[in-house]
Structure 1
């Protein structure tokens, strides 16, 4: 909303128009001029804002799954959060990687093509140190990875890739597979340098060590499903999962849950002095009459009324009525 002019300012504006100091036509032409936005066709941004937002939602879930997995696997405090999701060229991504680094080439099956799962050396060495019995500390001086360290890291990455299926299930049935691990960015050229990629940066903390895990997803890989990378499709697909079949599955699983059931023969109140003076053979009268109904408790909830008896030489109860409980 524009500023509100005072009466004196309105008078001065009308005076300027009458004297010709201000040309109305020039003012209109100036307002109608199209604003030009610089666009670099060599680095075209193919990811829309909605695509970036959906990738952020997917990887928020993925970050929580990694946090839970690594915390239990390492028996140490691990925190993983999505720091940023941004489109860029593959050239900019590869140039930002320092050697040595952990670059896992992932087959993004069933989509054609590969993505890159990059792990900061600080995080990599911290994971190896913790698995081998250390406190989860990184190296003071960065060096190359040994074959044993790469084998340990490979095992962790494979398990982390299996966690990737759940966050993507509303888009497609993902089956990621580790192809190889490189430690030099020059040997991880999966696409043309000018191709657009989405870079998901996960801030990772293992104990006292901070670092980053980057997931580089080329646009050309997700292009067949890019229409599904929208928040509208995402949330509508979530609602579709709540079908009648899903509800029936939940009900069937609930029906198999075991809960304690007990019949209460009766109850009474005694003073502490009476309890201390009790002797063998003493009789304690209960509040329930001989022909009265018993309470049948399911967990801590009274659910049935019953009468005691014997069936096949075993003590039993016979349900006589159902106790209706009001839902608060």
Structure 2
């Protein structure tokens, strides 16, 4: 987008042109020169900003779902918010991970490849403390996780993967599964160091403990669905016209839908006292007469009229006509 000049700058430019300080021909030559854009081969930009914004929408939804789940699961107030969504080289992410760490290696089926969910150790220990009846203060000392602690954390991660699938359902139906957990970043090399990744960074607060959740998504994993991550395509898909095949599919589903159909011979109003005094053999006078049409209701609305009778020695109702639009009848 061209730069917008202020009125003072316009006046100064006109004055320079009139005095000869600025040559119009030189301005044209400069504008016709080919502009060169710097490109960093160590950090290639393979994911468009529009696609990163879609990832932000997806994981903002995931954060809200996770916040609700953890608040009930840990019985403690939990707050999660998105900090950044950007792309980096995988080496920048892996070099920044502390040791020990809690890294979940996740198969992103049906997409090929894996992603990593990095939950800070401070947050992980706070979760464990809450699950074991503590106050959720966590452990400040740097130490490895025990086998029991890893089992508890794996259960939480598996529940979070179900929520992640819900967050992605508007784009693609994924079935993420936990492949393994690593506590040493050196053993979590899912792609080459120079590969591009999308990194979603979220801040999580459990009671008074604040930590981070990083989700590393390699470019090669989502490369096949990058076109679906475009917000323009996302919203335009919702505005597409309904085709004949869509209408036919809807009709077929409606034909298979089950509805309640009931025929009412008539109705009667009784007091509570009369209802309590009813006995075997008593006769209740209805508001309909012999030969009147029976109201046939679809759900709670009158849709047809019919006459009572028998078919194959069973009580039956024969539909005589369809209720006309605007026909005034008492449907109670």
TM-score of the two chains, using structure 1 as the length reference: 0.70
Distance 1:310 1:78, change over 3 A: farther
- 1:190 corresponds to which residue? 190
CA distance in structure 2 between the partners assigned to 1:257 and 1:193 by the alignment: 54
Q: Alpha carbons of 1:249 and 1:115: their partners in 2 closer, same or farther (altered >3 Å)? A: same
The whole-number CA distance in structure 1 between the counterparts of 2:302 and 2:237 is 41
- CA gap of 1:112–1:317, structure 2 versus 1, over 3 A, is closer
Seen in structure 2, the aligned counterparts of structure 1 residues 4 and 195 have a Cα distance that, compared at 3 Å, is: same
Please name the residue that 1:322 is paired with. Answer: 322
Note closer, same or farther for the CA distance 1:160–1:253 as it changes in structure 2 (3 Å cut).
Answer: farther
Shift in CA distance, 236/260, structure 1 to aligned 2, threshold 3 Å: same
Conserved 8 A contact 1:123-1:210: yes
Q: Judge conservation of contact 1:56–1:82 (CA < 8 Å) in 2.
A: yes
Whole-angstrom distance in 2 between the partners of 1:164 and 1:192 = 25
Shift of 1:149: 1.7
Quick one: structure 1 residues 293 and 182, their matched pair in 2 at CA, closer, same or farther if it must change by over 3 Å?
same
> How many angstroms apart in 1 are the aligned matches of 2:147 and 2:262?
60
User: How do 1:161-240 residues align onto structure 2 when only pairs under 5 Å count?
Assistant: 161-162=161-162, 164-165=164-165, 174-204=174-204, 211-223=211-223, 225-226=225-226, 229-231=229-231, 234=234
Aligned pair count?
318
Could you tell me how far 1:198 is from its partner in structure 2? 0.5
Task: Give CA deviations for 1:32-68 in whole Å, capped at 9, x if unaligned.
Answer: 6776655433222222223323433444554566567
- Say whether the 8 Å CA contact 1:129–1:136 is kept in structure 2: yes
User: What residue in structure 1 maps to residue 155 of structure 2?
Assistant: 155
Match of 2:287 in 1: 287
1:60-81 per-residue CA deviation (whole Å, 9 max, x = no partner) reads 5545665676577668776665
How far off is 1:92 after superposition? 2.7
Gaps of 5+ in 2: 327-332
CA deviation after TM superposition for structure 1 residue 150, in Å? 0.7
Shift of 1:147: 0.7
Q: 1 CA distance for matches of 2:61 and 2:247?
A: 23
Distance 1:36 1:200 in 2: 30
Matches of 2:50 and 2:236 in 1, distance apart? 15
Moved more, 229-238 or 111-120: 229-238
Where in structure 2 are the equivalents of 1:1-20 lying within 5 Å?
A: 1-4=4-7, 13=14, 17=17, 19-20=19-20
- Kindly indicate whether the alpha-carbon contact (under 8 Å) linking 1:170 and 1:238 is maintained by their aligned counterparts in 2: no
Tell me how far 1:295 sits from its aligned partner.
1.9
User: What are the within-5 Å matches in structure 2 for residues 261-280 of structure 1?
Assistant: 261-267=261-267
Distance across 2 between alignment mates of 1:6 and 1:122: 55
Alignment of 1:1-328 (within 5 A): 1-4=4-7, 13=14, 17=17, 19-25=19-25, 38-60=38-60, 62-63=62-63, 66=66, 82-109=82-109, 111-129=111-129, 131-132=131-132, 134=133, 137-139=136-138, 141=140, 143-162=143-162, 164-165=164-165, 174-204=174-204, 211-223=211-223, 225-226=225-226, 229-231=229-231, 234=234, 254-255=254-255, 257-267=257-267, 285-309=285-309, 316-325=316-325
Q: TM-score, normalised by structure 2?
A: 0.69
Q: Give yes or no for contact 2:122–2:139 (8 Å, CA) kept in 1.
A: no
Measure, in 2, the Cα distance between the counterparts of 1:205 and 1:243.
Answer: 47
Separation (CA, whole Å) in 2 of partners of 1:86 and 1:319: 66
3-state secondary structure, aligned to 1:295:
strand
**Matches of 2:62 and 2:247, distance apart in 1:** 25
Deviations 1:252-306 (A, max 9, x none): 5555555444433334668xxx776886698765432222122222332112223
